Amino acid sequence: MKLKLVAAGVLLAFGLGAQAAPLIIKYSHVVADVTPKGQAALKFKELAEKKLPGKVEIQVFPNSQLFGDGKEMEALLLGDVQILAPSLAKFGKYTKQIQIFDLPFLFNDIQAVDRFQGSKEGLGLLNSMESKGIKGFGFLHNGMKQLSANVPLGSPTDAKGLKFRIQASDVLEAQFKAVGGNPQKLAFAEVYQALQTGVVDGTENPWSNIYSKKFHEVQKYIMDSNHGVLDYMVIGNAKWWAGLPPDIQKGLSEAMTESIKFGNKVAFDEDMAFRQKVIAENKAKVLPMSKEHLTAWRTAMKPVWSKFEGDIGKDLIDSALKANK
C-alpha cells in the first residue's frame, strides 16, 4: 500500500499528471493600453494563450512599467524581456536603413507608409538587424505625427529657437535643426513633465499618444502637420526565438501576425477619433495648416534627406516615394 502511494506520488510529480509550467514571455512597451500598440500587445496575449493553452503565459507591461526607452533594447538582448515594439525612430544604433521612416515629408499619408512596409524593400528591413540578435516580426502602425508647441507653428520660422523633445533619432535631430529649433532626445516617459515644466517647448507625436499621455494639457497648440510617421517594428530576441520548440513558434507566429493586423486596424480606425477627443477637451487648440505653410515646412526640412541619403540608400528612398501613388 505504502509503495503504491509512493509510486502514485512519483507519477504525479514527474509523469502523466504533471503539467509543465507555461513558458513566460514578457512583452514590454512604453505607451498606454488604448493606443494601437497597447491594443496589439493585449491581442497578442489573448491569441497566443488561446492557441497554446497552458504552454505559454504572455505578460504585457505597458507605460514603460518594466523598461523604458534606453533600457529596453539592452534588456531584450540580455534576455530580460522577449518582445518589444520600439518606434522605428529608435533603431538607429542597430541599422542605418530604418532611419528612412524618420525622413520628414517622405510619405503622403499612413496608407503610403503601409504600402512601402508591405513592399519587397520594406519587408527586407525586418531582417536587417538579425546579425545584431534582433528578429523583426512585423511593422505596426501608430500614425502620422503632429507638431505641437505653446505658440502656433504655422510657418517654419515659428520654430526658431524653440526646444523640441525628440525620440532618440539623428534624423529627427536634423529635422528640427533644419528649422532653427533646439532638439533634445528624451525618453517617452519623460515627455509630459518636460513639456509641463518648460524643459522643452514643443514636440511631435501621433494623436493616440498625444491624447493618452495628455500632451494636449501641457501644449497650447497642435498643428495638423502630418509631417512624418511614427510606426513600430515588433521584435524579439533572435536567439530566444530560434530555440523555441516548433509548435510554440508556430502558435506565436500566428498570434503575432493576427495581433499586428488588429493593431493596424485600430491605428487606421481610431486615429481621427483620438484627434476628436483632443479637440473635445478643448485644452490645446488644434490648428489646420495651409498648403503654403506645409510647402514652406517641406522646403525647410528637405535638406535632411540628402544628409542621410548615404546611410539609408537612394534606392530605398526611391522605393518609398513610389508608395505615395
- Window 185 to 204, contacts with ligand LMR (CB under 6 A): 188
Taking the complex as a whole, how short is the minimal distance between the CB of residue 156 and ligand LMR, in angstroms? 21
* Cell output for 16: 502523466
Q: Does 219 bind ligand LMR (CB under 6 A)?
A: no
How buried is 154 (Cβ within 10 angstroms: 0-12 exposed, 13-18 middle, 19+ buried)?
A: middle
Q: Does 142 bind ligand LMR (CB under 6 A)?
A: yes
Burial track 115-127 (b if 16+ CB lie within 10 A, e otherwise)? bbbeeebbeebbe
Taking the complex as a whole, how short is the minimal distance between the CB of residue 235 and ligand LMR, in angstroms? 13
- The full DSSP string for 104-128 is TT--SSHHHHHHHHHSHHHHHGGGT
Query: 56 or 267, CB closer to ligand LMR?
Result: 267
Q: Does 39 bind ligand LMR (CB under 6 A)?
A: no
End-to-end CA distance of the chain: 80
Judge whether 165 and 176 are in contact, CB under 8 Å.
Answer: no
In the block, cell 503622403 appears at 108
Taking the complex as a whole, how short is the minimal distance between the CB of residue 69 and ligand LMR, in angstroms? 6
Residue among 77, 54, 76, 52 at smallest CA distance from 66: 76
Tell me, rounded to whole angstroms, the distance of Cα 7 from its chain centroid: 53
Judge whether 39 and 262 are in contact, CB under 8 Å.
Answer: yes
Tell me the three state secondary structure of residue 154: coil
The single residue among 25, 30, 100, 266 that binds ligand LMR, judged by CB under 6 A, is 30
In the block, cell 494601437 appears at 36
The single residue among 148, 175, 205, 264 that binds ligand LMR, judged by CB under 6 A, is 205
Q: Does 64 bind ligand LMR (CB under 6 A)?
A: no
Residue 163 DSSP code: E
Interface characters, 169-188, with ligand LMR (x: CB under 6 A): -------------------x
Interface characters, 80-119, with ligand LMR (x: CB under 6 A): -------x--------------------------------
Taking the complex as a whole, how short is the minimal distance between the CB of residue 227 and ligand LMR, in angstroms? 14
Taking the complex as a whole, how short is the minimal distance between the CB of residue 306 and ligand LMR, in angstroms? 25
Judge whether 207 and 275 are in contact, CB under 8 Å.
Answer: yes
- Window 229 to 268, contacts with ligand LMR (CB under 6 A): 230
Taking the complex as a whole, how short is the minimal distance between the CB of residue 87 and ligand LMR, in angstroms? 3
Q: Does 167 bind ligand LMR (CB under 6 A)?
A: yes
Query: 55 or 148, CB closer to ligand LMR?
Result: 148
Interface positions with ligand LMR (CB under 6 A):
30-31, 87, 142, 167, 188, 205, 209, 230
